[in-house]
Amino acid sequence: MAVQGKEQILEYASKRKQLCSDIKAMIVEQLCLDMDPEFLTDDQPLFGRGLELDSIDSLELSVGVFNKWQISLSDDDNRAFSSVNALADFIQANAEGDGGEASEAADLSGGMDLG
């Protein structure tokens, strides 16, 4: 692997980690949860047996995503709320080139198979 490739991967990983941290903070703030955002894991289910969120919470999270990243979620996008990682994937895939953290991370992932 070329040095530039390693640098790109490290930069992508750093931005992805920051995006996940931002999502966790948004979830805790938007839902007024009495917990530290870092208590949430990236793959923890947000609904069902995870945080046990409900449909009202999903509306609140939709508002939080729009307020922070200017990305709207439709009824068909409910899988985006399955976990922090799923929401990060959704934000990266739908980020407009506005220079924000999400779009930078999305740009860095272009063409790289990290999975």
**pLDDT tens column, 73-104:** 988 898 999 999 999 999 999 986 544 444 44
Q: What is the DSSP letter of 79?
A: G
In-domain check, residue 85: yes
User: CA-to-CA distance for 11 and 7, rounded, in angstroms?
Assistant: 6
Q: Measured in Å, how far apart are the chain's first and last C-alpha atoms?
A: 16
Does some domain include residue 114?
Answer: no
The CA–CA distances, whole Å, from 93 to 55, 61, 96 equal 23, 17, 9
Give the CATH number, domain containing residue 33. 1.10.1200.10
pLDDT at 76: 87
Q: Which domain holds residue 50?
A: 3-109
Judge whether residue 31 has pLDDT over 50.
yes
Entry pTM: 0.78
| Count of helices and strands (H, E) across the chain | 4, 0
Amino acid present at 49: R
DSSP string for 82-94: S-HHHHHHHHHHH
What is the tally of structural domains in the chain? 1
